Structure 1
Amino acid sequence: MAEFKLVLRKKPNREGKLPLTLRITKDRKSSFIHLGYHLHEDEWDDKNQRVKKSHPNSARLNNLIRKKLSEANDHSIELETQKSYVSATAVKQKVKPAAGSTFFAQAEVWQQRLKEAGKYNQYTADKPRIKHFKEFLKQDIAFADITVAMLERFKAYLQTKHGHSERSAVNHIVMIRSVFSHAIKEEVIDPKYYPFGKGKMKIKFPESSKIGLTQDEITRLENVPLEGTLDHVRNLWLFSYYFAGMRISDLLRLKWSDFQDDRLHYEMGKNSKSGSLKIPDKAVKIIKHYKTFQQNKDDMVFPELKGVDLSDKFITQRTIAFKTSAIDKQLKTQVATAAKIEKKLTMHLARHSFAQVASDKIPVQILQKLYRHSSILTTMGYQSNFTTQQTDDALDAVLNMEQKPKLEK
């Protein structure tokens, strides 16, 4: 009869965590199955074969471990019943699919990792995408069986059956790539099964049009009389615009301690880049308004995240998502109407609006610093959506060209 034991292998990942494996021993020969989980050495109780309570998800992981051990024993007994001799490798081959090497088993682990990392937005976006892929396949599938042809059929299925746009369909493929990358990193599958890259499936997002408010529309937004909540959401939009299109996820996290020496110092959440910006004169009025509600130097500038445990990244992102949805709804349905703006007014439009107004006025190298892009190519690509002066001048030059009189013969 094969023996099973859970062991931490000694090869750490980039985070310094060790892979948890199921060791199968038969006739003094062992095989190992990676379970898709990594732990710090002091989080594992080897004697009792349990994840220690110091791990934030110990109860859930211990339940999964017990389930996997039970499944492994069941498969081993099944093989022993069918054959007179069974090797450790044979037991491994029988157990491995149940131990998490199939796509949806790893997708579940991937979702849990996103949740643990506090990535609420990606977690909630990928959850229905995984569901759609499962509906398409109608069963779990080995990574080796996911081919380029299958991915193309899945894209077509999304667009014809569910009416998804090209961008939405591509996002589903990106989710599948993410689960593949996770499984390869965790050494659950062989990289040779990766169906993306040169000569395989290429992921290309369709171009999307970006448009911001004009200077005239921004002026109307600044001057329209608003009260209460509508005045507040208008302030949030303008504050974002005044600080080079600051993302709302960064805006709502601002604390009074971030303001020092007439400058705003903050770390951008998307890429963890730090920097500071001079406080524009137009932003001072907004700052003074909210200053009256300040309780201490570490208090939040805006009320949306007051009382939220910011150390819990998942809860923080979830709260930001809910608040952003409510803010955007008021901007689109009430503030835009009051300011006579026909464009879809959202918080993200503040970023596009800054880019549009700045397009022909500020050198791209300076814009790169304002946006905190790692590559200037990213800035150039983004600004190309708004830089129209040269093409406008070229069009005028052609259409306004006077036809020269022909010489008489």
Structure 2
Amino acid sequence: MVGSVKVVLFRSKTLKNGEHPVMLRVTKGKKQSYAGLGFSCADSQWDDKTSRPKKSHPLYGQLLKMCDEKETNARKEMLNAVEETKTFSMEEVLQAGINKPKSEKGVIEFFDETIDRLKQAGRVGYAATFKDTRNHLVSMMGKKEFEFVELGPSFLLKWESAMQGKGLKKTSISLYFRTLRVLVGYARTEGVVKKSYNPFEEFPLTKYRKIETPKKSITQEDVLKIARIELPAMSDRFHAQQFFLFSYYCRGINLVDVANLTTENMHYLESGEVRLRYTRKKTGHYFDIKMLEPAIKIWEFYQGRRPPRNKYVWPILHSQVHVLPQQINWRIERICRQWNQGLRLVAKEAEIGEYLTLYVARHSFAMAMKNSGASTTVISELLGHESEETTRIYLRQFPQQTLDNASQALIIPGTNLRRIEPEEEVTLRQTETLRKSNEVRKAG
């Protein structure tokens, strides 16, 4: 036998009340390890044959149930570990015995805990993503709770087929899978599941990495077209234009972070430099950006029109009105919709044949940096990405003209390549047939 688990009366230690602590003992070869169960028992009230309190103990029923539960949980942990890796950790077996079993916390229960935690941290938008994924899982499973052990490759395949059957786009399917994968990572970190637990090991998401999406960036020339348009001040079109330019010239700062900027984020140095310093809400990445002249002018325009009792500079949030995280999130979502509509009108007026959104400014900044010769590593740092893989997704698509020019390089200057007309094609076939016939006669 590889090892054993047993509840014992630890007589080597005597407490002040004269009783001995009841402990869980794990044996592996010649080694033994103990963990207390949180109660003690007198020697006269302990049955060594059953390794349980005697029936005469005043708390017999309660303690018997506790001993059975702790011993069973530890033994189950040991057997599962042996089945997977042919060995086990004495420490993990003890922890499984004295703590709540890891598998006891369900997937939906952990989803709800994570959603609440994100809301408390003010990450309302991210919490909404988890809630959407949770609700989709409940709908697909047809039950309100299930265990982490059910999240195997067969489950993921079934979920994928269900989503495809409902006509979900690859981008949506990818988002659901990635959210569930993040949740599993949280569960590993918090000890809800084992460190080795990974249902995506046999279900890699690599096929969702290269999803073709519409073009998400515009050229520097198109950015200048947007900047040259004169619009009524303080209109939605005007705000959309100013935000797009501000984001473009400030390393692609997004709407959530712009909405939360105050005068304390802008620093005017003695050297004459103006720097924007803030922490990105989504990733916690700290930015210290040297402000370019176009961005400074936009900032000073809005700062000069800021209401006295509002700490925020941009006309998105009001510190006296938008206080709760949910209020802030709703307000930003509303502004996003309004300004996106305004930006599309601006693009039409500027004769830019692209479907623009506020986020295009971030992608356009990244592509401008790439076209200027900056490396992926530098661009990744400028954007505040946690990995260069995310940056590569931003830079994956090339302008169509660039691809056309690359193909054109196959044509050697000075050569006369023209289309063969149908009648010429017939003549060529006849010539080839005649040549083959002559070869056959010569061979004969």
Identify the TM-score tier after normalising by the shorter chain.
0.5 to 0.7
Indicate the structure whose relative CO is greater, using CA pairs within 8 Å and at least 6 residues apart: 1
Aligned length: 323
Matched, 1:291 2:303: yes
> Conserved in 2, the CA contact under 8 Å of 1:119 and 1:314?
no
Aligned pairs for 1:130-209 within 5 A = 130-139=134-143, 140-160=145-165, 162-191=166-195, 193-197=197-201, 200-204=202-206, 205-207=208-210, 208-209=212-213
Q: How does 1:43-192 map to 2 (within 5 A)?
A: 86=65, 88-90=67-69, 101-139=105-143, 140-160=145-165, 162-191=166-195
In the TM superposition, what whole-angstrom CA distance separates every residue of 1:291-315 from its partner, at most 9, and x where no partner exists? 3224679932212122168986565
Aligned 1:257-336 pairs, distance under 5 A: 257-259=264-266, 260-261=268-269, 262-269=273-280, 270-294=282-306, 299-307=311-319, 315-332=327-344, 334-336=345-347
For residue 356 of structure 2, what is the amino acid of its counterpart? L
Partner of residue 256 from structure 1, selected from 255, 258, 263:
263
Q: Is the 8 A contact 1:359 1:387 kept in 2?
A: no
Quickly say closer, same or farther: Cα 1:362–1:295, change in 2 above 3 A.
farther
Query: Judging changes above 3 Å, is the alpha-carbon distance between structure 1 residues 170 and 368 closer, same or farther for their aligned structure 2 residues?
Result: closer
Select the structure of larger CA radius of gyration.
2
TM superposition shift of 1:163: 1.3
Question: Structure 1 residues 128, 275: closer, same or farther in 2, change over 3 A?
Answer: closer
**Structure 1 pair 102/211, CA: closer, same or farther in 2 (3 Å)?**
closer
Q: How far does residue 222 in structure 1 lie from its aligned partner after superposition? A: 1.5
Relative to 1, partners in 2 of residues 1:167 and 1:88: Cα closer, same or farther, differing over 3 Å?
Answer: farther
Deviation, structure 1 residue 288: 3.4
Do the aligned residues in 2 keep the contact of 1:245 with 1:350 (CA within 8 Å)? yes
Cα deviations by residue, 1:269-303 (Å, 9 ceiling, x for unpaired): 13333343333222343233223224679932212
Is the Cα contact below 8 Å between 1:239 and 1:283 reproduced in 2?
yes
Cα gap change, 1:158 to 1:402, in 2 (>3 Å) = same
TM-score (norm. length: structure 1)? 0.67
Aligned residue for 2:295, secondary structure, equals helix
Alignment equivalent of 1:351, drawn from 362, 373, 376: 362
Give the whole-Å Cα distance in 2 for the aligned partners of 1:392 and 1:130: 44
* Residues 201-254 of structure 1 deviation map (CA, whole Å, 9 limit, x = unaligned): 212333234431223322321122321232122111111112232222222222
Unmatched 5+ stretches in structure 1: 1-26, 32-79
Please report the RMSD computed on the Cα atoms of aligned residues, expressed in angstroms: 3.7
Between stretches 380-389 and 234-243, larger displacement belongs to 380-389
CA drift of 1:28 comes to 5.9
- Matched residues, percent identical? 21
| d(CA) in 1 for partners of 2:68, 2:278 | 50
Distance 2:132 2:385 in 1: 30
Matched residue SS, 1:303: coil
Please name the residue that 1:51 is paired with: none
Partner of 1:224: 229
* 1:117–1:314 CA contact under 8 A, matched in 2: no
Contact 1:29 1:88 in 2 (8 A): no
| 1:8-64 deviation per Cα after TM superposition (whole angstroms, max 9, x unaligned) | xxxxxxxxxxxxxxxxxxx96789xxxxxxxxxxxxxxxxxxxxxxxxxxxxxxxxx
Contact 1:180–1:194 at 8 Å: present in 2 too? Answer: yes
What code does the residue aligned with 1:360 have? N
Change (3 A) 1:362 1:404: same
Q: 1:289 to 1:188 in 2, by over 3 A?
A: closer
> Distance in 1 between the 2:387 and 2:182 partners?
23
SS in 1 for 2:289: strand
